[in-house]
Structure 1
Amino acid sequence: MELMKYEGEWYVWTLVITTILFVLIMPKKNLTWVGIFITIVFSSGFSWISDSIAGSLIDLFDLAKKQTIEPGDAMLISFVPASIATIYVNFYKPHKKWIFAFVFTLLCFVLELGLVKSGYMVNNDWNTWYGIPVYFTLFRFFFPWYLQLLSKNLSNN
């Protein structure tokens, strides 16, 4: 297994390490360690499914300019979206739902744009800005609902 053999892989590992470290040291607001674990596992699974459909089945993009999964791809898909989702759910405040949705949508857009600009992600039938409505829907509607659901389930136990 050879690391750093693809263009832009430094960017991927920077994202992976930074987001994981942030989740580990962030103050716990809405989530406990159990909530963090559940959110990471759920979001990671969701990320693998959606990226597999978009990247492999529909072939909208390639990571590391290959049709195979490399170590950097696996870490990127497993931890970066899951960490961002966990950070969002942990700090989310219902009275600032629009601000949170816009800020995290912009963050995800910029991080995806970084993947493209660094050369690690190559868009086929995809433009980076296509992700904006997807991110916004997740952050404005799905993750607030997810936090309510998670809070109910954790408080009933």
Structure 2
Amino acid sequence: MIKNLDLHAQGNWLPISLGLLLFLYALFMPKKEIGWRDFYITFGIIGYFAWISDSVLGKMLDLVDFGNPKITGIGEFISYTLIPSSLSVIYLNYLKKTNKWILVFIFTIISTLIEWGMRKVGYMRIHGWSFFISIPLYIIVYSFFLPLQRKLIKCKS
């Protein structure tokens, strides 16, 4: 069981540390623009899409590996479960019509720095993936997908 956690993967400490810090912040931050219902739905939906992305990009297309490519360890689990979901909840908590593009810029930078850090410590190894794919994807998620999700969550019908 310990072997399957992939605890000895190079750079494993970074996604574990970042994931836990972001998750704890998302849990305990003062809720301004979202409530617990929004938190719950966003966390689940973003986590689901992150795992679909891992399945397609990491497993089927083999564009990226986290830790040991043959094991889905704790670092990869946190990378796809806690980090994107926590960032999304935090983003939506501060999102207003007046600060949308500032937050898109800030969270795109944060997401890019997290990806860069995981590459730098050796935890994330790429096979055809690049920042030229990641950055536009982050911009689309933060500028379009997450605001749309919030509208859908708030919709009464």
Give how far 1:122 is off: 0.2
Aligned positions of 1:115-154 closer than 5 A: 115-153=118-156
Q: Does residue 117 of structure 2 align to residue 105 of structure 1?
A: no
In 2, are the aligned partners of 1:65 and 1:121 still within 8 Å (CA)?
A: no
In 2, are the aligned partners of 1:54 and 1:60 still within 8 Å (CA)?
A: yes
CA distance in structure 2 between the partners assigned to 1:128 and 1:141 by the alignment = 19
Which amino acid in 1 is paired with 2:117? G
Aligned positions of 1:4-23 closer than 5 A: 4-23=7-26
Total equivalences in the alignment: 154
CA distance in structure 1 between the partners assigned to 2:53 and 2:68 by the alignment = 19
In 1, are the aligned partners of 2:20 and 2:82 still within 8 Å (CA)?
A: no
Residue 56 (structure 2) aligns with: 53
With structure 2 as the length reference, what TM-score do the two structures score? 0.92
CA distance in structure 1 between the partners assigned to 2:131 and 2:70 by the alignment = 19
With structure 1 as the length reference, what TM-score do the two structures score? 0.92
Indicate which of 74, 78, 88 corresponds to 1:75: 78
Give how far 1:9 is off: 0.6
Give how far 1:50 is off: 1.1
Unmatched 5+ residue regions in structure 2?
Answer: none
Which portions of structure 1, spanning 4 or more consecutive aligned residues, are displaced by more than 6 angstroms? Answer: none
Moved more, 107-116 or 2-11: 2-11
Moved more, 37-46 or 95-104: 95-104
DSSP-derived class of the 1:62 partner: strand
Determine what percentage of the aligned residue pairs are the same residue. Answer: 32
Unmatched 5+ residue regions in structure 1?
Answer: none
Moved more, 98-107 or 124-133: 124-133
Indicate which of 94, 98, 110 corresponds to 2:97: 94
Residue 88 (structure 2) aligns with: 85
CA distance in structure 2 between the partners assigned to 1:142 and 1:64 by the alignment = 28
In 1, are the aligned partners of 2:43 and 2:86 still within 8 Å (CA)?
A: yes
CA distance in structure 2 between the partners assigned to 1:145 and 1:66 by the alignment = 34
CA distance in structure 2 between the partners assigned to 1:53 and 1:7 by the alignment = 23
DSSP-derived class of the 1:46 partner: helix
In 2, are the aligned partners of 1:56 and 1:67 still within 8 Å (CA)?
A: no
CA distance in structure 1 between the partners assigned to 2:148 and 2:15 by the alignment = 29
In 2, are the aligned partners of 1:20 and 1:79 still within 8 Å (CA)?
A: yes
